[in-house]
Amino acid sequence: MNSLKWAFVILFLVLGVVGNYHFSEQSLAIRVAGLSVLAILAAGLALQTDKGKEFWSFAKDSRNELRKVVWPSRQETIQTTVMVLGVVAIVGLILWGVDILLLKIVAWLTGYGAR
C-alpha cells in the first residue's frame, strides 16, 4: 500500500513540473496556485505512509527538544563573538609570521629573493 501512495506522490510532483511547463503561457499566479495544490496533496499523501509518519514523529520530537534549548543572551552572544574574532586575529597573525619566516628560510636556502 505504501508503494502505491509513493507512486501517487511522485505522480503529483511530476504533474506539477509538466503542468508548469505546459501552461507556461498562463499567469504566474495560476501556475503557483496549481503547483501549491499539487505540492500540498503530495505532502499530505506522503505523510500517510510509514516513512511519512516516522518523519512527522521525528519533526515533533525535534520541536520539543528545541524548546528545551537555553539560548544565550544578547550580551553572551556579543562577548563570544568578540572572543572568537580575537582568537581568529591572533591565529591569523601567528600564521602570517610563520609564513614570512618560512619564506625567508626558503629564500635563503635557494638564493631566490635574497637581497
**pLDDT (tens digit, 9 = 90+) per residue, 83-103?**
999 999 999 999 999 999 999
Residues 51 and 77 in one domain: no
Residues 58 and 79 in one domain: no
- Is a pLDDT exceeding 60 seen at residue 74? yes
Residues 54 and 75 in one domain: no
- 2 pLDDT band, cuts 50/70/90, is confident
Question: What pLDDT is attached to residue 38?
Answer: 93
- Is a pLDDT exceeding 60 seen at residue 114? no
Residues 9 and 63 in one domain: yes
In sequence order, which ranges of 1-115 are alpha helices (DSSP H)? Answer: 2-22, 28-46, 50-68, 74-110
Residues 75 and 55 in one domain: no
Question: Domain containing 41: what range?
Answer: 2-68
**Among 60, 57, 39, 37, CA closest to 49:** 57
User: What are phi and psi for residue 13, nearest 5 degrees?
Assistant: -70, -40
Residues 90 and 49 in one domain: no
Residues 89 and 64 in one domain: no
Residues 64 and 89 in one domain: no
Residues 55 and 81 in one domain: no
Residues 41 and 64 in one domain: yes
Per-residue pLDDT tens digits for 23-69 = 989 899 999 999 999 999 999 999 999 999 999 999 999 999 999 99
